[in-house]
Structure formats: C-alpha cells, structure tokens
Structure 1
Amino acid sequence: MRDSALPGPSRIAHFTDTWLPRRDGVVTSLQTLDRQLRAAGRQSLVVVPRHRDAVAEPGQSLHTLRSLPCGVGQLRLAPLPGRRHTDAIAGWEPDLVHVHTVGPIGLLGVYAATRLGVPLVHTYHTDLHAYADAYRVPTRALQLAVAAYRRRLAPGGRPAMRTVGDNPRRALVDEGLRLLFGQSDAVVLPTRAILDRVRLPVPADRLHVLPTGVEGRTVRSSEVMAFRQRHGVSTRDRLVLSVGRVTAEKGIDLLLPAFARVLAAEPRARLVLVGTVYDREALSAALRASGLGRRVVLAGELAPQRVAAAYAAAVQSGGVLAFASRTDTQGLVLSEAAHAGLPCVMVDAELLAAGPLAGAALCAPATTAGFGAAIERLLANPVLAGALADRARRAVLAHTPQAYVTSMLSIYAAAAGVRDRMAA
C-alpha cells in the first residue's frame, strides 16, 4: 500500500547500464532503492541491459534492452537509444525518470525524460574523470561518445568542442557531463567528497547529498566455516580483506606491495581479494614477482551473503578491511564492513571525512610504506581496532534503507517542483 504520508511521485523509471549478474556499487544502491520504493507503495521500473542470468526479484519490474558484452568484466552495452526505445518507456507512463549511469541506457533515460516532459533525477555514482584516466580511454572514443550524445540531446546545438590543452580527456568528460546533467532537475551525490573532484553543470540548489542506506547481514557460523574451507583460509590466518574489483582504479597496485610489508611484520597475514579480476594474467605476474602467491586468496566475485561471510571471517581473525581506492564516490563496502564490526584502513582522506564512516577509520598516506604501516598498526593493536570498529558501526546505523528512500522521495518531490516552476 502506498504510504500517503511520504512525498514524491508514484511511478519512477530507473535507467542503468550496469546490472546483474555484474555486482558493483551502482547495482547494490539501485537494488536497495527499488526494493524500498516498492515497499513504500511506489511503482518502480528498472531499465537494464539484457542478460540471460539476470532474473527479476518477486514483484520487481525490469525492462531489458538487447545488449552485447564489451569485454570489461560482465558489463554489457545496449545500442544508442532511438524513438522506439522511448515509446516503450512512454507506455509505462512514468512520473519521473532517475538515471544512475552515463552509458547508452543512461542516455536513454535523459532522452526519455526530455521527450516525455517528466522530471529528471541523476545519481552521480562514478568518478568519471578518474575512470577515464585509469582505463586510458582513447580520446577518439570519448569524442565519438560525446558526438553521439550531442546528436540525441542537443541536435543543432553548439558544434563539437576542440579537445586542445593538457588534458583532452577531462575536457571531453566535462562536455559529456554538460550534455547529460545539464537538464537535471536534481542530482544526488552519495557523499559531499564528490564536489572536491568535479564541478557538475547543475545549480547548487539542485544538488542533494544522500548516502545509500545499508543494512547489516546475519551470518551463521556454518557460512563462515564454508567460506574458510572454500578458499583455504585457516583459523590461524590474520585476514587483510579487500572487497571490490581487482583493478588499478581500486588501488591494487598500492595494495599488493603494502601487503608485502605487512607480511614481513605479521607472517600469519593473509590477503583475501573479493571481487572480479579484470586482468588475471597481469595479476598472476605481479603475484609471482612479489612472491606473495601463497598468501593471497583470489575469492572472485561473490554473492552478498558470501561477502558477509568474508567480513565475519576477517572479524574473527582480528583482521582489517584494506580500502586502497581513491576513486570511490561512496564505498558501500565501507558500510558493509562497519556493520560487520570490521575496522578499516583507507587512503582517501576526503571520503573518510565526508563518507559513511564519519572519520571512523585509520587513514594512511597512499604509499607502500604508509598504507602497509597503517594495516600493521591495526593488526597489532586490537584495542584501537575495536574502538574504530565500534565508532564506524554507530555511524552507519544512521543510514538505513528506510531513511534512504524517505529522503529520496523528498528529492523526487523537489525535482518535480523545479519542473513545475520552469513550466509556470
């Protein structure tokens, strides 16, 4: 039943280029929002790339688009949108469009909101400048993408910009952001730290800071034991856990040498990498060169309950979460670990201060020596580790999924108000 006490629209269409079976922060955040909207009596449609292994939850409405693998993990790309795609969305009669990514399906969301004349909300989930640099996206590819977006969103508008200067990638990303976000009635920022990295082409009064609500998971001792057995982890191992893609932008190049330093001080340390490995050959070579092979566990991408078992195993071992990323806009794994009672070491000072942990983690310099020393310190000091874990857990308890959807519905109502004022 619809909760009439809550503001906001009744029918929300979400658009995302990343979806199950791929697992990442965008998928987790959107799944949480979709479930909570339906629980609040709203109708929610999620537009996603088609994949044979993606099955809708009971009561969930998915609109799938033909897509092809792009060679990056399980990410799939749909074709650029056309009129027939928006006609299908129009038939569902959304009151508001919420765009979560900037690929072709995100573009479809912006295109659909424009054609249907409904409020448009974006969530800025991804540090696009950092990712363009980390993956060395060719300038030509960005030029083609921006040109395609311009044809859909600003036909007959200003001509393509010339990418001159020291950082053509940044200029092209900025142009893409202008095209995609310039028409937004509201933009959701998971943390205020994002504003230190990017200037979005949106008036300040349309920016809303709202972290995703995360709930803790109950884990049985049998699940922890199964995790240990499956991955060959002994009860004597001190677990240094990393959860997230095993890639450069997530800091694997910093984490491995830092762990080598930790291992020299704590021979029982074991590094457990939970997440998709994009370049397994390069990682294997790095492990062979470092001599860490036997002390590193490649757990791969795991379902949420198995990730929870990994957190619990790390807590039992007196371990830590090693968060080496400097490109995250929120870091949902930080909240997950905090719910589990696992202390964290991280290198992103801005995210630590503005993110869900509210400063309750050990922050280290982004150097091998600095990051390694901080991990060593928590492993060697259970009193400090326990105090940080307690503070972090108290901080994340304030960000529940229920509070998240209540705040999001208020943002939707504000976006509708912006649209009404513009039409008046």
Structure 2
Amino acid sequence: MTPLHSDQIVVEEYPASSPSLRLSVVSETWPPEINGVSLTLSRLVQGLCARNHQVQLIRPRQTRVDQALQHDGFEELLMRGMPIPRYPQLKLGLPGKRALIHAWTLRRPDLVHIATEGPLGWSALQAARCLRLPVTSDFRTNFHAYSEHYGVGWLRKPIAAYLRKFHNLTQLTMVPTQALRSDLMAMGFERVQVVARGVDTRLFNPQHRSEALRTTWGAGPYTTVLLAVGRLAAEKNLDMVLRAFEAMRAVRDDVKLVIVGDGPLRESLQQRCPQAVFAGMQAQQALATYYASADLFLFPSTTETFGNVTIEALASGLAVLAFNTAAAADWVQHEGNGWLVPVNDELAYLHTATLLACEPQRIAQAGARARTQVARLDWQQIASEVEAHFLHTLSMR
C-alpha cells in the first residue's frame, strides 16, 4: 500500500462499498493523445468506474468526427477545442461556461473534478461555483516553470498567480509528491493533499525484455543501453541526456542511446546526435518493451510535477539516473534502484554517468532492485485514495 502522510485521509475509512458518486471529470487532454496527464487520468477514471462511481468526462472534441462514448457508468460530453500552437495533435478546450451550467442543471453531479487549468477548466470552475457544486482539482503541470524554457520568463509570476487563484477556488488540490505540496503551500496554495500516481505493473514489467529489439539498436549482450522517454521539448532538459551519453562513450565504447518520443526539438537533437536511435512515439505495449530492453533510464528534467516515466521505468526493472526532484525524489533510492544527484547540479549528473559507464554491473544490480520500490503503486489503490478525498470533501459541506 502507498505510504500516507500524516495529513492525508486514511483510505481504509472508506471501503470499496462506499456510496456511488456522480462525478464530472474535466480535462483538456485524453487518449489517444499521448502525454502523462491523459494516460494517468484515464487510468484513474477506469479505477473510479471500477469502484462503482458514475463518471461524466468533459473534454474537447479531438477531431471533427469524434463521437462521445457512453457505456455503463461512463459518458462523455464533448466541448469545442482548438489545436495547441507547436502541438497541433493536442487540443485546448475553449470556454464553455454556459453549456456546462445547462448540462449540470439538467443532471447535477455530486462533485466536479478538474484535471487541467486551461480555458475549459476555468469555465468548469466558474460553472460549478454558480451551481454551488463541490470542486476538487489536480495540479499536474508546472506551467509557471516551463515559461523559462520558452523565452517568456517574465510570465512566470502571472502564471503562478493564475494557478494559485484557480486552485484556491477549489475545495481541494491533489498533487503527486510531498515536495510539490510543500512548494505550492509556500507559494500560497491552500488545501493541498498528496496522492501518488499509479503505474500498470503488469504492462511495465521486466518480462518484456527483448533481445531482438536490442539487436535492432545495434546492442549486444554486454552493451549498456541508455533510454530517455518523453516529449522532445525545451523544458525536458534533453541536452543533459546527450551530454551524459557523450560522457559515457568517452570512457567506454559499448554504450547506446535510445530516445522515445517526439516534439519540436527532434530534428535538432538528431542532427546533434546521429548515433542515437530516435524511435518516435510508441504505443503502450511497445513502450513497455523499450523500457524493459534498456539498462539505464536517464531522466534530466527539473520541471516535472511528477514524471510518470520514472515509475514506468522502475516497474520495468530499469535503473534510473535523475535529479533529486519529483517522482525520483520519492521512488528512487540512491545507490539502491538508481542514482540521485542534487537538482540542477549538471556536473554531478555527468560525473555519475561517467562512473556508471565504467561499472555496468552496478547498473544491472540496481535494475534488479528497481521494481520492488514501485510494485505497490497499483491504480486501484490510487483510485481508492482519490475516492477517499472526494468523500471527505463532500462531508465538509
């Protein structure tokens, strides 16, 4: 079971037989869009439906022919959206307060849960307040931190002020780590609680290791394969991945780099590092095989609220090298299932990578221990924790 902090709700107080709730979940991203928010939120919704709750998902229409789904315990309400600049495959929900007031007047939810803070999320918040509906929220993306990486650092304070106003208008904000909770509360956020992210330990599993796939990478039995997974964008600090690869190759030839994902930096990264394998976006089953077939996961980002890829890598039996922040701070045990270095200490990151290149057996030993730490992050347990917070929120009204 996931450890609970002293200020969290005790899950056992609310068994699976809790009363069925009518929940409206609002998100501006959803599968088949591939990103941490859409994938983890969809698993949470599945968990809530499995616990006998009725979920109405409110999201932007992804294509002109997109049709709302409806089946036992789950239905969709599709709203207007527009492509996000530089990410045309993703949609930004447009304001829809009037439509939401109409929908929720006809069929009133017990609670509204908002996963994203865009125009659709703001409209949902305002509509819920007009109807006096209880509202909870997720803090899933450090938009204020990302501003530094896109040349608009001057927007950091206004974005942070908007996020604080948004979340403080809700009855509860859920965050994935204790460190993020502390940071947000220091910024003036109120009523913040920790709920970890889950991981599908059946999908992400060392059993999916494929020597055939490694061969396509040019990796032999003793090759150390480095893996990076995520959006190829400025805020991911991917320069550190290439520098770590170069540092390791300087002391040992038999090292390969595989990068999974796509984004605006792909072309420039390929030009800089033609030796790397750029695999593009991968579906979940294929991604699980990529994780299990590598040896060391490089995660250099310092702007994540969590970093789902970290626990996916650990569940796959993959040792992790990361800065001591977000999910890594909670789930990577230094010199146990991976290595942690101080945040933004690039020299320490490169020094650790260089040492590991000389001792591949240490990487293999850490990989053998990797899965144990996250094996209990089952999605049903996470859904149980979220359910407990929903029920507590309702009991406080």
With the length of structure 2 as denominator, give the TM-score of the two structures: 0.84
Partner of 1:124: 139
Within-5 A mapping of 1:130-169: 130-137=145-152, 168-169=154-155
Q: Indicate the residue corresponding to 1:51 in structure 2.
A: 62
Q: Shift in Å at residue 79 of structure 1?
A: 1.7
User: Of the candidates 325, 330, 334, which is equivalent to residue 310 of structure 2?
Assistant: 334
1:110 and 1:233 map into 2 onto residues whose CA distance is: 51
Amino acid of the residue matched to residue 84 of structure 1? A
Question: Structure 1 residues 44, 278: CA separation in 2 closer, same or farther (over 3 Å shift)?
Answer: same
Q: What's the offset of the Cα at 1:242?
A: 0.5
Pairs aligned (count): 374
RMSD between aligned alpha carbons? 2.8
Partner secondary structure for residue 332 of structure 2: coil
Tell me whether 1:69 sits opposite 2:69 in the alignment.
Answer: no
Corresponding residue of 1:41: 52
Partner of 1:347: 323
- State whether residues 9 and 409 of structure 1, in contact with CA within 8 Å, keep that contact through their aligned partners in structure 2: no
Cα 1:58–1:245, aligned 2, differ >3 Å: closer, same or farther? farther
Shift of 1:298: 1.1
Compute the displacement of 1:239 (Å): 1.2
Instruction: Give the AA of the match of 2:135.
Output: L
The 1-side partners of 2:118 and 2:192 are apart by: 21
Secondary structure of 2:351's partner?
helix
What one-letter code is carried by the residue in structure 2 that aligns with 1:277? G
Residues 333-367 of structure 1, C-alpha deviations (whole Å, 9 max, x = no match): 111111111000002346533x2335542013545
Match runs of 1:12-411 below 5 Å: 12-52=23-63, 60-73=74-87, 74-137=89-152, 168-199=154-185, 201-203=188-190, 206-218=191-203, 224=210, 227-228=213-214, 232-235=217-220, 237-285=223-271, 287=272, 292-293=273-274, 295-314=275-294, 319-349=295-325, 351-353=327-329, 355-357=330-332, 360-364=337-341, 366=344, 369-411=347-389
What is the rounded CA distance, in whole Å, between the counterparts of 2:70 and 2:242 in structure 1?
38
Displacement of 1:310: 0.2
Counterparts of 1:92 and 1:83, CA distance in 2: 14
In structure 2, the residue corresponding to 1:198 is in which secondary structure?
Answer: helix
Quick check: 1:78–1:105 contact (8 Å CA) kept in 2? Answer: yes
**Contact 1:214 1:400 (8 Å CA) reproduced:** yes
Distance 1:253 1:57 in 2: 44
Residue in structure 1 matched with residue 21 of structure 2 by the alignment: 10
After TM superposition, the structure 1 stretch with the greater mean CA deviation from structure 2, 384-393 or 185-194, is: 384-393
Q: Give yes or no for contact 1:15–1:47 (8 Å, CA) kept in 2.
A: yes
The structure-2 alpha-carbon separation of the partners of 1:262 and 1:416, relative to structure 1 and needing over 3 Å to count, comes to same
- Write out the 4+ residue segments of structure 1 that deviate beyond 6 Å after TM superposition: 219-223
Task: State the partner residue of 2:5.
Answer: none
User: Structure 2: 5+ residue runs without aligned partners?
Assistant: 1-13
Change (3 A) 1:324 1:403: same
Is the CA contact (8 Å cut-off) linking 1:134 and 1:249 kept in structure 2? yes
Normalised by the size of structure 1, how large is the TM-score?
Answer: 0.79
Superposed displacement of residue 202, structure 1: 4.1
Deviations along 1:387-416, one digit per CA (max 9) or x if unpaired, are: 433444222122211111111111001211
